[in-house]
Amino acid sequence: MSNTWVVATQPAIGSLLELGRARGGDVIVVAVGDAAAKAGGGDRVIRVEVAAGTPLEAVAPVVAAHVDPQPGDVVLTGSGSADRAIAGAVAARHGLPVARGVNHVATDEVRVPRYGGIAEETVSLEKAILLVVDAHGETEGEAAAGEPAEGDGYAATISGIDPGTSQQANLPAARRIVACGRGFKAESELQLASDLAVSIGAELACSRPLAEGSGWFPRDRYIGVSGSRVAPDIYLAVGISGQVQHTVGMKDSRVVVAINSDPQAPIFTQADYGIVGDLHEVLPALTAALGR
């Protein structure tokens, strides 16, 4: 029976463990740094210690040496920057194909979106594969003592830290999301969306242009084909046109509410409820009504 390897640099890997358990076989966690102290729920845990002042990415060769995927195995890792860097080392060492944004993981196959989510490819697991998946959720059970990993990483140290001004988002775990698009013409207007998000206990997110074009949002709040994929209970799309590059990231939302001044905007074809109107009028009205 094939096994699942979970490479973790942070403890919130409940969703990865759930995927592994659903496949059957053993779930082997290779936990890096602080994640090792909280990695519960795996059948086996390999601990990769990281010295103080050393970036997590520096132990990539150690992780790669202790992951031993066999034909049919799946290697799962999160989508954080350190996860992706270490995943690259694992894939390179073992010659693994890499896929992101997987829709379905089974014992013998995975389904992967292609062409921005327009098509879906079924990949047979005759060989091992590495999947980059948005990780979230707490683990269950006590953290295993684990096996210490041996080996040397790169001789790298952290010389300085420049923290961001915004709190890092975990959009895949959010149950309510207010997402902003190019309907916002000035950064100051985002306060309207922020007020609404606070009133309903939602995370604030955006489409790609506001993260990589305007720079109004950090990249971890961008939803779309190369950003986060989410499935909240409620998704409010404000000023978002609804191009497939964005909708592929939110199509699994339970309820979608679209707010746009253009009645022909494609986002309305994805919405359960639509409001045609000026966001400067609609958002304050919703905030006042829903925040009571």
Look up residue 273 and give its amino acid.
Y
Domain 171-290 sits in CATH at: 3.40.50.1220
Residue 120 tokens read as 């879906």
Between the alpha carbon of residue 14 and those of residues 157, 176, 223, 242, the distances in Å are: 30, 19, 21, 31
Percent residues over pLDDT 70 in the chain: 91
Give the number of other Cβ atoms within 10 Å of residue 125's Cβ: 18
Distance of alpha carbon 71 from alpha carbon 32, whole angstroms: 24
Q: pTM for the whole thing?
A: 0.74
| Residue boundaries of the structural domains of the chain | 4-148, 171-290
Give the confidence band of 275 by pLDDT, cuts at 50, 70, 90: very high
The answer to whether the CB of 65 falls within 8 A of the CB of 119 is no
Each residue of 12-38: pLDDT tens digit?
A: 888 898 889 889 899 999 999 877 656
> Are the C-beta atoms of residues 194 and 204 closer than 8 Å to each other?
yes
Phi, psi of 95 (to 5 degrees): 65, 40
The average pLDDT across 49-62 equals 92
Pairwise CA distance, residues 237 & 75, whole Å = 33
Q: What span, in angstroms and rounded, lies between the C-alpha atoms of 150 and 29?
A: 15
Instruction: Give the pLDDT score at 99.
Output: 87
Q: Return the pLDDT at 165.
A: 56
Residue 8 DSSP class: E
Confidence of residue 108 (pLDDT cuts 50, 70, 90): confident
In this predicted structure, the answer to whether residue 47 has a pLDDT above a threshold of 80 is: yes
pLDDT digits (tens, 9 = 90+) for 135-149: 888 776 666 667 889
Buried b vs exposed e over 168-191: b needs ≥16 C-beta within 10 Å? ebbbbbbebbbbbbebbeeeebbe
The fold for domain 4-148 equals: Rossmann fold (3.40.50)
Sheet containing 234-238, strands listed edge to edge, beginning at the edge strand earlier in sequence: 203-206, 176-180, 234-238, 255-260, 273-276
Mean pLDDT of the chain: 88
